[in-house]
A and B are shown apart, each in its own frame.
Chain A
Amino acid sequence: MSLSRRRKMLPWWFALPGLLWLIVFFAVPILNQVSVSLMSGDPEKGYELTWSFATYWDAIRDYHAQFTRSFGYAGAATLIDFVIAFPLAYFIAYKAGRFKGLWLLLVILPFFVSQVMRTASWQLILNDQGWLVARMQDVGIVADDGRFLATGKAVIFGISYNFLPFMVLPIYATLDRIDRRLIEAASDLYCSRWTAFRKVTLPLAVPGIFAGSLLVFIPACGDYINSSILGSSNTTMIGNVIQSKFLNILDYPTAAALSFILMGVILLGIAIYGRVLGTKNLTELAG
């Protein structure tokens, strides 16, 4: 091999191990899953590829409620996380001063404790006789004789909790990168603080908000940890269905079809969302 040819191949040698791993254990399984979703048969006799597209329609017909619930919960959690995260990220970026590092450490602290453990902790904190539920009854969030666990609210609460850092970090990163002189320039040009925020800071933070929303929404759609630990059979999400179809009922085609419907809707959502937030007329969005 000539030297120049070897140099040309070099990036491929660097990329090869990781790429190969992703192809064999990510791409091939997903493609295989496509063929599984088009099989028919039953758990005893096995499944055969029959190009049975009907599985998809059956899956939508039987589980549209769980799909709607998943997207609803994930959407609500994304919104709640944005409301909690934006002021926090703003505070850390602009007002935390020399304690910035400490604040950021506290934001990522939950990553060092297993998600299942944290959710289990909430399950105990939110127990029916607990202090927190009693306070919520006082305020009226929970009916006086009602419970918080095993409701949709509890699942949304859990999802919001679990993915909050994923909203804070990208928003913080974009806010921190904004050139302060732009905001100064805005106030030099007679912008009030609020207008400067609305017309300069917020539009420049849009990429972070976009990234944060996706980082919360995508895993939230497929999540079933919160629904299993904090919810009940009335809060079943699509992740629960896929998991039980796959591991308990052994109905692989339906599980596969459900996975692809989930992924398809998510990708479509990302595309539309990107179109809306990614437009050049961000100024319009801001005001």
Chain B
Amino acid sequence: MATQTLPTDPAAPHVPGVAPSAGAPRRDREPGRGRRWLLGVWSTLAILFLVAPILFMIVFSFNDNQGRFNFEWRGFTLKHWADPFANADLAKALENSLLIAVLSTVVATAMGTLLAIALVRHRFRGRTPTDFFVFLPMASPEVVMGASLLAMFLVLGVGTGFGTILVAHIMFSISYVVVTVKSRLEGMDPHIEEAAKDLGAGEVSTFFRVTLPTIAPGVAAAAVLAFALSIDDYIVTSFNAGQTQTFPLYIFGATKQGVPPQVNVLSTMLLILVLGLMLLNVVVQRRLAARDRAARA
């Protein structure tokens, strides 16, 4: 392989246009302006593609729509924003979704964080198989997980509803929490924990006063991810929901007869809420870092 790329070989196919006698190392000419411009345009178009339906959703939350379908612009109105909970079924579905998302986020983040710590910080027997097992739910299609879970509930005679949705959401969130927290832990110096123990801290106080504060940004990111996964889930939920409606289930049902504009309003509100939470997380992390620096100085 190496001989092929030697610049002294005039027949080398990989260095077109380079004279073997070239003295000084050839600095690249000014990179093709055109190519860089093209890359920027391509990237902008890709981002536009990604956000197009979101922009559409927001704009049409202000549409004074006529009839069932909300895709023809009929003039600006604030009436849907003035009364976003006009549709009782929709409001109930959103309430269910928010409650399930909060509960499943709390439980999955707690379990997943502990599991991640066990996997990274301890060399115990059965660690590698456990690692693989935790990865499996992420490699399984949702339709398989959802159907299997429902089959088990049917066999056991468990009625499906709010509780079974919650159980399912915790299940598929755990693996994502583990992966997110693990990557943070792997970047953390284990000697800090050892130092704490050497200085007389017990297992428990080391965990709460050293480990947890250090991995906090990772845990926060994992929680945001778990929340987003839960509030967005359609497939697993559709199997285990019974008569209970969630926000995505409601919208899916509505696509057949026309999605009411209140859905646009509430989705936009959710978007603002999650963006706000993320911004808050960033601000808090920055403040804490600044305080740390000030304390050290």
Interface of A toward B, CB cutoff 8 Å: 8, 10-12, 14-15, 17-19, 21-22, 25-30, 32-33, 36, 84-85, 87-88, 90-92, 95, 103, 106-107, 109-125, 127, 130, 161, 164-165, 187-193, 195, 199, 214, 218-219, 221-225, 228-229, 239, 242-243, 246-247, 252, 255-256, 259-260, 262-263, 266-267, 270, 283, 287
Contacts and interface: CB of A to CB of B under 8 A. Distances in A.
Interface of B: 1, 5, 7, 14-18, 22, 25-28, 31, 36, 39-40, 42-43, 46-47, 49-54, 56-57, 60, 69-71, 110-112, 114-115, 117-119, 121-122, 124, 127, 130, 133-134, 136-137, 139-145, 147-152, 154-155, 167-168, 170-171, 174-175, 178, 203, 228, 231-232, 234-235, 238-239, 247-248, 251-252, 254-255, 259, 263, 267, 270-271, 274-275
Given A18-B178, A19-B115, A19-B130, A164 B147 contact: no
Contact of B56 (A107, A109, A121): A121
B165 to A, nearest CB: 12
A27 B147 CA distance: 13
10 contacts: A26-B137, A33-B148, A113-B271, A123-B255, A125-B53, A164-B50, A188-B25, A189-B5, A259-B144, A263-B144
A125 B118 contact: no
Contact of B53 (A14, A29, A122, A199): A122
Q: Which 7 A-B pairs have the closest CB atoms?
A: A222-B141, A121-B53, A11-B122, A18-B111, A18-B115, A14-B118, A29-B148
A51 to B, nearest CB: 17
A111 B150 contact: no
Given A14-B117, A255-B147, A256-B151, A118 B248 contact: no
Contacts of A222: 141-144, 235
Residue with the greatest number of chain B CB neighbours at <10 A, chosen from A85, A124, A255, A256: A124
Nearest to B155: A32
B251 A125 contact: no
A8 B124 CA distance: 8
A124 to B, nearest CB: 4
A217 B148 CA distance: 21
A226 to B, nearest CB: 11
A29 B254 CA distance: 31
A17 B151 contact: no
Given A18-B174, A192-B17, A246-B150, 18 more contacts: A11-B118, A11-B127, A17-B110, A21-B111, A22-B137, A30-B140, A30-B148, A36-B151, A88-B47, A91-B39, A103-B47, A112-B228, A113-B270, A116-B248, A124-B69, A222-B144, A228-B255, A242-B144
Nearest to B228: A111
A125 B71 contact: yes
A91 B42 contact: yes
Nearest to B22: A190
Contacts of B139: 214, 218, 266-267, 270
A110 B270 CA distance: 12
A193 B15 CA distance: 10
A25 B107 CA distance: 14
A107 B49 CA distance: 10
B122 A21 contact: no
Contact of A29 (B40, B124, B152, B267): B152
Contacts of B7: 189-190
Contacts of B143: 222-224, 239, 242-243, 259, 262
Nearest to B168: A25
Contact of A114 (B28, B36, B232): B232
Contacts of B231: 114
Nearest to B127: A11
Contacts of B271: 112-113
Contacts of A120: 251, 254-255, 259
Contacts of A18: 111-112, 114-115, 134, 174, 178
A28 B152 contact: yes
B153 to A, nearest CB: 8
Nearest to B164: A25
Contacts of B155: 32, 36
A259 B54 contact: no
Nearest to B17: A192
A259 B235 CA distance: 14
B52 to A, nearest CB: 7
Contacts of B1: 283
A262 B190 CA distance: 42
B257 to A, nearest CB: 12
